[in-house]
Structure 1
Amino acid sequence: MRVTRLLLGATAVLALAGCGAGGETRSAPPMATGSLESLAAEVKCKPNMQTDADTIRQAICTNTDGKFILATFSTDRGQREWINDAKDYGGYYLVGRKWVAVGDDGTVEALRGTLGGDVEIGTNHSAHSGH
């Protein structure tokens, strides 16, 4: 299962990671809760399901803010393990109660304006690019 989480995290980050200019952090609304479908509806995206398992449900979403991965988890521990593994690949993570959205910094900040949550940033490997 750990390998699956690593692969899912790597796929999500590599598919969506981009360089961001950063920006102002605005205050967030109360943290959203609910199923993957209800969270997707709040941010006006139709989820394209990629994983539908007992422990994790994961979809690719696109809305006016950008493209992102939306995932929900059955346990807090499973969520934290997934995030910790995925953060090794860089990227921006909007973390809520048993859910996470992964995308570029602008998309994550825009989603935070609707869903609330806390932003976490993955490992920056740009200094190790070899260029």
Structure 2
Amino acid sequence: MSPQPRRLTLACLALTPLLLATGCGGGGSDESKVSSDTAVTAAPSAGVVAPAKVEVIAGLVGCKVKIRTDADELREGVCKGKDGDFLITTFPEERFKLTWLDAASIYGGKYLVGTRWVVSAPEALLKKFRPELGGKIQQL
């Protein structure tokens, strides 16, 4: 191998980690369209963001959930509690959540929004659930 191609190969190998590190950060994803209101924060009492699983989220807020939708794009469960009924919706990918929120915006209201999950409930319940689940209360 002549010196010129060898230098080019070494330069490419040296840049590979940098390209991988910056390439995965992306800037053109659907997430960039979300306002800063959707930033997810850790639950103050739990110290972590709730997992995107309907049954786990329901357990964290003390409800026995009944699954009403189990599709490729989302799972939705209904909780009936003494404080009122509410919905927990989870998504296999963040982009499905963003599409769902966009469609739900025609109805307005407030939602507790986390990473790949949304809780639809009266505002008082959202405020009650936030310390356990994390996320952010978002006005649509």
The two structures have a TM-score, normalised by structure 2, of 0.63
> What pairs with 1:1-131 in structure 2 (closer than 5 Å)?
28-29=43-44, 30-122=48-140
Q: Number of residue pairs matched?
A: 96
Structure 1 contact 58–70 (Cα < 8 Å) conserved? yes
How far residue 119 of structure 1 moved from its aligned partner, in angstroms, is: 0.7
Question: Partners of 1:58 and 1:33 in 2: how far apart?
Answer: 14
Higher relative contact order (CA 8 A, sep 6+): 1
How far residue 54 of structure 1 moved from its aligned partner, in angstroms, is: 1.8
Question: Partners of 1:34 and 1:102 in 2: how far apart?
Answer: 15
- In structure 2, the residue corresponding to 1:71 is in which secondary structure? strand
Structure 2 contact 52–91 (Cα < 8 Å) conserved? no
Root-mean-square deviation (Å) = 1.7
Paired letter, 2:102: N
Unaligned residue ranges in structure 2 (runs of 5+):
1-41
Unaligned residue ranges in structure 1 (runs of 5+):
1-26, 123-131
